[in-house]
Structure 1
Amino acid sequence: MKILLLCAKAFETMEFSVFVDVMGWAHDDFQCDIEVETCGFNKIVTSTFGIPITVDRLIDDIRPEEYDALAIPGGFEEYGFYDEAYDEKTLKLIRDFDSLNKPIATVCVAAFSLAKSGVLKGRNATTYHLRGGYKQKELAKFGVNVINEPIVVDRNIITSYCPQTVPDVAFRLLEMLTSEEKMKLVKEAMGY
């Protein structure tokens, strides 16, 4: 199995790294046939706090049928996250994964990419909830049924509140791809 980890400009490193770690533990310690492949608009993508990441593939070269799931970390608007998170290439990628009914896991404001693509219209989701819930109100404007919960799963799509939720999002994705039993083994081994 292969997970595509999309790194839009200004992604948050914490929201990125947990997917790598959880799936790495599952692969190396529990013989789960899972690998994570990163992609971005450029070979080097700079995170919100200035950490550069070299990605495996460019978004133009991605074929959704070669992957089993898509994961998208959120990022900071003031560093330009939405420049690529709202780009038509990102939106098409999301629509393609959803049309194939493949799991899509997002953290925090990455839910806005899903909403902008149209795949969340009429569906349940959540996003950043602090500071008066203003981001949740913005998400609702896309026709999303916003649920004020840390993690919301609607069929193949996982959305979440904020960086605190990242481990649980990654574990939910692992469960979707393997089993509840495998997920619990990895979770316990990692101290969660």
Structure 2
Amino acid sequence: MSQSLQGKRVAILATDGFEEAELSSPRAALQEEGAEVQVVSPKKQGIRAWAKTDWGDTYQVDKALDDARPSDYHALVLPGGLFNPDTLRLDEKALAFTRHFFEQGKPVAAICHAPWILINAGLVEGRRMTSVPSVSQDLKNAGANWVDESVVVDKGLVTSRTPKDLDDFNAKLIESLEQGETTGNHA
């Protein structure tokens, strides 16, 4: 454990139906490096995971979205799953929270279906990105350059396809956070 992220705070924005591994794995990797990680959600109580083919565990919400200030965090993680990003992409507070990280040049990491949130926030045009294949056309239609790779980093935006890419995703997320704010990650 290197503690390279000591003093860094990371928000994981999620709600019911997030893919369990896509929240638990990045959170564990970040915490192992010394980061403080908080689950932020429109819900004030626990949120329920989707674990591959059925409902999974309930995870504690550390901060309600209504009470969370994006300026308190150094980076944002957006787990996928099908239900989670589909709900969050219609939540204007979630979109505004996400936009802040781009406006301030802070690292953002999105996996699986989570780029839907970025599409609705108007943040993907001109970006090189990846996602679960079923979201590829949505990204292309929104002006992104979609590629089929395990992880893609574009000016502080880290994207991956599925849970099988979590090792690569976590490594690039940590690397982006170690490097700090980037002048290129803007809306």
Amino acid at match of 1:13: E
Q: Is the 8 A contact 1:106 1:159 kept in 2?
A: yes
Mark the CA change 1:158 to 1:135 in structure 2 (over 3 Å): closer, same or farther.
same
Q: What's the offset of the Cα at 1:99?
A: 0.2
Q: Report which of the two has the higher share of strand.
A: 2
Partner of 2:67: 61
User: Whole-Å Cα distance in 2 between the matches of residues 160 and 59 of structure 1?
Assistant: 24
Aligned pairs (5 A) from 1:1-192? 1-27=8-34, 34-42=35-43, 43-48=45-50, 49-77=55-83, 81-129=85-133, 134-178=134-178
TM-superposition CA deviations, 1:44-90 (whole Å, max 9, x none): 1112224211110001111111100000100124xx64122431111
User: Whole-Å Cα distance in 2 between the matches of residues 170 and 6 of structure 1?
Assistant: 16
- Worse overlay, 155-164 or 47-56: 47-56
DSSP 3-state at the match of 1:102: coil
Where do 5+ consecutive residues of structure 2 fail to align? 1-7, 180-187
Amino acid at match of 2:115: A
TM-superposition CA deviations, 1:6-41 (whole Å, max 9, x none): 1122101100011121122212xxxxxx21111111
Partner of 1:183: none
RMSD: 1.5
Q: Report which of the two has the higher share of helix.
A: 1
User: Whole-Å Cα distance in 1 between the matches of residues 126 and 42 of structure 2?
Assistant: 29
Whichever of the two has the greater Rg, that structure is: 1
User: Whole-Å Cα distance in 2 between the matches of residues 99 and 119 of structure 1?
Assistant: 10
Where do 5+ consecutive residues of structure 1 fail to align? 28-33, 180-192
DSSP 3-state at the match of 2:169: helix
TM-superposition CA deviations, 1:151-176 (whole Å, max 9, x none): 11110111111111122212111112
Q: TM-score, normalised by structure 1?
A: 0.81
Partner of 2:183: none
Percent identity over the alignment is 30
> Post-superposition, which runs of at least 4 consecutive aligned residues in structure 1 deviate over 2 A?
none
DSSP 3-state at the match of 2:113: helix
DSSP 3-state at the match of 1:101: coil
Aligned residues: 167
Mark the CA change 1:85 to 1:51 in structure 2 (over 3 Å): closer, same or farther.
farther
User: Whole-Å Cα distance in 2 between the matches of residues 127 and 67 of structure 1?
Assistant: 24
Amino acid at match of 1:127: S
